[in-house]
Amino acid sequence: MKVMSPAARWTLFASAIAGVSYVATWGLDLPPMVETAWKGAGVALLAIHAVIRARSLDGWLLVAVMALGAAGDVLLETHGLTVGAFAFLLGHVVAVALYLRHRRRASLRPLFLIPAVTAIAWMLPHDRAAAPGIAVYSVFLSAMAAAALNSDFSLRTVGRGALMFVLSDLLIFARLGPLPDTLATGLAVWGLYYFGQMLICVGVGQRLEPKIA
């Protein structure tokens, strides 16, 4: 049986509170620094959760994935889309390395995500000058999801979380094109992203946690 420590349980609970309550800041007139810190807190606490559970190189790779995600959340607000996306891209590279260390018998079907997601992402923005950069990022995004689906981590948590991350980013790219930027769209983007990250963190952590007799 695998038992989560109290510290790990409480950091996960605190992360959920931060991640869900962040939506409330959209209707508040908060200083930009406070709103940005609130945005980054959810996944930053997932990184701390991963630190508490880390027992091996794989555990620390998970820490890096979550830490780079939190950095991306903050950098998107402070330095713009390109810098923030680069932090996420690095996180996808680390995640691919982690998933490849736990690859099971490979299936070709998840690999079709890479050309499919890249092509969709490239077509979405109205600003065609932005399309090549978005497509390059999407190669790494979809490779992360494909590697997750081809890993021996749980499809119900890690696989589902990776696909939720992909859908969240595609919605972001769609807002640069045909999709209106509404409250519903914003909730979908944030909800898919945050809970996708949580599923990845919890699923990988649970798989790596040593069993207690």
Using alpha carbons, list the distances in angstroms from residue 133 to 22, 56, 93: 28, 34, 16
Domain ranges (residues) in the chain = 6-208
What pLDDT is attached to residue 211? Answer: 57
What pLDDT is attached to residue 213? Answer: 43
Q: Which residues of the chain have pLDDT under 70?
A: 1-3, 210-213
pTM for the full predicted model: 0.94
Q: Which run of H or of E encompasses 46?
A: helix 32-53
What pLDDT is attached to residue 104? Answer: 85
